[in-house]
Structure 1
Amino acid sequence: MRVVDIWDTAGQERFQSLGAAFYRGADCCVLCFDVNNAQSFEKLKYWREEFVSTASPKNPHNFPFVVLGNKIDIQHNDRVSSAKAISWCKSVGDIPYFETSAKEGVNIDHAFRIIVGNAFRQQEYLDNLE
């Protein structure tokens, strides 16, 4: 039986010192932002780079990331467009992107199926390297 551990730092700076412990041995990284907060979208690049530098994955260019644009249940005038998020995801390695609502459960199941699948494929890839 395979087991999945999911760790959530909620993007909080106070957890940054724990990054190595959280990231080490990860098989997938989920980057989340609030679609109604452009600043949280702009921080995706920082969090991706932080993960890669801290986790030091064996193949950083092909490491599986998934991006979740959350809070689609809230209507806001300054919303980060789907096109902008998709464009960024394509520019950094064609990362899968899902718009979600954790509150209403929109796209959560589908996104986590992809996340878990990516993690298992990464684990198998690493097992084959040994």
Structure 2
Amino acid sequence: MASRKRTLLKVIVLGDSGVGKTSLMNQYVNKKFSQQYKATIGADFLTKELLIDEKLVTLQIWDTAGQERFQSLGGAFYRGADCCVLVYDVNVGRTFETMDNWHDEFLKHASPSDPTKFPFILLGNKVDVDDGNSRAISEKKANDWCVSRSNIPYFETSAKNDYNVDDAFHSVAKIALHHETNPDTYFQVIPETLNDSEQSSGCAC
């Protein structure tokens, strides 16, 4: 056993209700998928321990409730975030059309020191549905939107099939760590060998 320094990274996941935010988080952290997740009330979070560029990182991933509760959670909830993940359903056009609002509202409430450089990632979820025949938003349209927003990274995912989920969140962690200017660090007694499956969950309702 040894005491090793870890960096805590706070990630906020935003998007309309029903796009699969909770499913993506549970697939990434717990390697589980369910069709019967309860709707988030307020905010929930999961944590994942991982190694990024030889640094021990605790990724704290926050899932918020739908649009109507966004402002009621208060700016303090969003401040201190190191990355924001925007999620839409590739099969439902309106969930993509709200990305501008989610993006701008986050910056408004989080108040980062340099909004033009704050890291976002866009996830187009549920690519497994109907073998792609039900798509409403093309990959090109999503990529064009990302380019217009300072080249935000884009991943297409399926929480159900565990497609691209690890890659997407690994990218989230790397980008958050790279842009982290005032790292929150702490020491924890852990085994010498890092277990990537370490995890915990909590709720702040």
Q: Which has the higher strand share?
A: 2
Offset of residue 121 of structure 1: 1.1
Q: Partner residue of 1:95?
A: 152
Structure 2 residue aligned with 1:6:
61
TM-score, with structure 2 as normaliser? 0.58
Q: Post-superposition shift, 1:17?
A: 1.1
Q: Which residue of 2 aligns with 1:109?
A: 166
Counterpart of 2:79 in structure 1 is: 24
Between structure 1 and structure 2, the one with the greater Rg is: 2
Structure 2, unpaired ranges of 5+ = 1-5, 8-57, 184-205
Distance 1:19 1:48 in 2: 16
> Distance in 1 between the 2:89 and 2:96 partners?
7
1:70 has 2:104 as partner: no
Give TM-score, length-normalised by structure 1.
Answer: 0.90
Aligned: 1:44 with 2:79: no
Helix, strand or coil at the partner of 2:123:
strand
Task: Give 2:61's aligned amino acid.
Answer: I
* 1:45-74 deviations in Å (ceiling 9; x for gaps): 000000001001111111100000000010
- TM-superposed CA distance for 1:7, in Å, is 0.3
**Residue 178 of structure 2 corresponds to which residue in structure 1?**
121
Structure 1: state its 5+ residue gaps: none
**Deviation beyond 6 Å, 4+ runs, structure 1:** none
Structure of higher RCO (CA pairs closer than 8 Å, 6+ residues apart): 2
Higher helix share: 1
Letter in 2 for 1:65: F
Residues matched between the structures, number = 126
- Root-mean-square deviation (Å): 1.6
CA distance in 2, matches of 1:10, 1:115: 20
